[in-house]
Chain A
Amino acid sequence: MKMINDFMTAAADYFPMLIGKGSPKFVTSSGKPVYGIVAEFDETPKVFKAAQHVRDAGYTKWDVHSPFPIHDMEEAMGMKSTKLPLMAGGAAIAGVATAAALQWGTSFVLYPTVVQGKPFEAWQPFVPIMFELGILFTAFMCIFGMLALNGLPRWHHPLFTHDRFMRVGNDKFFIVIEATDPDFDPSKVKKVLEDAGGTHISLIEDID
């Protein structure tokens, strides 16, 4: 049930009509829903320690933004390993099965065809196609599954409304705790981020 829920939430990035949007828990004075609260950091060790702090505070829907990859950050954030390998494995099995079904179905079951005097039920000629289609499906799943899990492609992001956030491409690090987190409470989140050593803590409005 949780898996279906997760899937629907991910799919709703592309097809908003799939899930009915409930009324937001928190709104700003202008009536817009809250996207999350962002805090700024100057140095890699600081943002690393802050990530551990936020992880230990028990938040799940949050992210660290950095100009470059930081080794061991996934541990500091307490991230679970991705579901992508399982999805790719499923795609591989689907690819092999599709190739097998297409070839056996057409040239053995529906319309038995003599090729080079080989037996109808020969499995050998089908193997390269099964191999190729397995790889093709896996590669597609890796690329498109990765994009989907990352919520890409998208036109815009609420964080881009925050002017200071633009320096994430240069020399600043940011931690964002999102309003979708079950423990989200603006005053508590601000406190946690302050304790973690964040500066310029500000609230980000959702786009609509």
Chain B
Amino acid sequence: MEHIVTESANHPAPEATALSGAEWQRRLEKIAADPRMSEENTTIAKSPIAVPLFFAGLVATIVSVISGFSMSGHGMHMLASIEVGLFTALAISLGGMFWVMVFHSLNAGWSITLRRQFENLGSVIWFPAVLLIIIALIEVISGGIMLKWIHHEGYNHLLHVKEPYLNSSFFIIRVLVYAAAWIIISRCFIGWSKKQDETGDRRLGRKSRRVAGFAIPVFALTTTFAAFDFLMSPDYRFFSTMWGVYYFASCGLAGASGVAIIAYFLRRAGKLEGLVTSEHSHDLGKLVFAFTVFWAYISFSQYFLIWYSNIPEETAWFYNRQEYGYNWLFWVMVIGHFVFPFLLLIWRQTKRSLNLLAIMSVYMIVMVALDMVWILRPMADFAATSVDGSSIVRIALDLVGIFGILAMYFGLVAIKVSKGPLLPLKDPMLHEALKHKNYV
């Protein structure tokens, strides 16, 4: 076999780039000279409602906690409604993180002008992650509020068998690992992206792509097991191997929806003019649409297999919810989380108009929150022996708990968005996003 021999000095090194340094500098200059990349168009002052929103959420959460403890039998109820808000916020952040990694690993060009918003959503994950640790500690110290398996009287064979996984110390370790993994991953990606804004070092893009490949499995495992620990184990008899994917579907959906909402507010403030167009809105809408369908596919598959196989400990999960006051929510999920948004988002015009897409995105996040209500909230009702207060008071307690966490979260997101440029300024793929167009 004939070998082609070149001098090693002429051979491209593994880290060599296809574009020469001079060409890259020219491209950077061209992008910097683009009128759309003016500082006025790519930065935003802090929203005046961001801090008040955060404190409104804080007050609501405090009210929720106080009333939960002062009304007898509502401790679990209060925690369930706070967790509904928490897991909705976590889904948005995890979704933002997930899409950043997907865009990096697929070398996506169209999404660059939107990517900073995905990164912002991802980097706010410290808030739900820290809350998750606090809730885990409260659960363990109090002997189990939502997580009844933490403490149980007498011998329970099922818990005895599940002991190697469902025990307090391993649970705390797991939660710490999830939180650390999420915070580190999201910090890394936004950190490199912001460093690139300043230095224009295009090798950071390659580094992100390389790391994204390893970070996606970490994301997948931590998300799956976090969903097992907090969303599945409140009913420790129940098990579903689909559970991680089920929560991940909500993550992807909520992340894309969250960015659509941020993009709408930025465009309304007159920012990102010509940088986020109906073409970007169209592609973002496709993600929202795809994950609406994906969620329906996943959750119906799970429901369908449980319904058909009719194994008592699995079927009980659905049976209890449908028989004891939550059948309406089942149909809200079928119609409201799938059929209705499917029929609206399938239209090209809905996706191409950022205003319509933002309305649909708010609606989808409400649906994700209702999905969390469907998962978490009935557990408090099943466990309750006696409850205070009329149904209006109880619904108010739900709303305050959910609103509190989400308001604090969105306040933090709004503060985060105003820090730094609204898009990666020197990304190697930015030129593709600037002239992005859908030909279908």
Q: What residues on A are CB-neighbors of B310 within 8 Å?
A: 116
- A71 and B439 form a contact (CB under 8 A): yes
9 shortest A-B CB distances, which residue pairs?
A124-B307, A124-B304, A71-B439, A127-B300, A127-B304, A125-B308, A124-B308, A128-B304, A116-B308
A124 CB → nearest B CB, Å: 5
Q: What residues on A are CB-neighbors of B304 within 8 Å?
A: 124, 127-128
A58 CB → nearest B CB, Å: 26
Q: What residues on B are CB-neighbors of A128 within 8 Å?
A: 304
Q: Which residue of A lies closest to B300 (CB)?
A: A127
* CB under 8 Å from chain A, chain B span 297-318: 300, 303-304, 307-308, 310
Q: What residues on A are CB-neighbors of B300 within 8 Å?
A: 127
Q: 1/0 per residue B428-440: CB within 8 Å of A?
A: 0000000001010
* Interface size class, chain A: under 10
* Interface size class, chain B: 10 to 19
A103 CB → nearest B CB, Å: 15
Q: What residues on B are CB-neighbors of A116 within 8 Å?
A: 308, 310
- Identify the A interface with B (CB < 8 A): 71, 85, 89, 116, 124-125, 127-128
Q: What residues on B are CB-neighbors of A71 within 8 Å?
A: 437, 439
Q: Which residue of B lies closest to A128 (CB)?
A: B304
Q: What residues on A are CB-neighbors of B303 within 8 Å?
A: 124
Q: What residues on B are CB-neighbors of A124 within 8 Å?
A: 303-304, 307-308
Could you list 14 examples of A-B contacts with CB < 8 Å? A71-B437, A71-B439, A85-B348, A89-B346, A116-B308, A116-B310, A124-B303, A124-B304, A124-B307, A124-B308, A125-B308, A127-B300, A127-B304, A128-B304
- In the bound complex, what is the Cα–Cα distance between A127 and B296 (angstroms)? 12
- In the bound complex, what is the Cα–Cα distance between A125 and B346 (angstroms)? 25
Q: What residues on A are CB-neighbors of B307 within 8 Å?
A: 124
Q: Which residue of B lies closest to A69 (CB)?
A: B439
A163 CB → nearest B CB, Å: 33
B411 CB → nearest A CB, Å: 41
Q: What residues on B are CB-neighbors of A89 within 8 Å?
A: 346
Q: What residues on B are CB-neighbors of A125 within 8 Å?
A: 308
Q: Which residue of A lies closest to B439 (CB)?
A: A71
Q: Which residue of A lies closest to B307 (CB)?
A: A124
Q: 1/0 per residue B269-308: CB within 8 Å of A?
A: 0000000000000000000000000000000100110011
- In the bound complex, what is the Cα–Cα distance between A89 and B310 (angstroms)? 35
- In the bound complex, what is the Cα–Cα distance between A124 and B301 (angstroms)? 10
Q: Which residue of B lies closest to A73 (CB)?
A: B439
- In the bound complex, what is the Cα–Cα distance between A89 and B346 (angstroms)? 10
Q: What residues on B are CB-neighbors of A85 within 8 Å?
A: 348
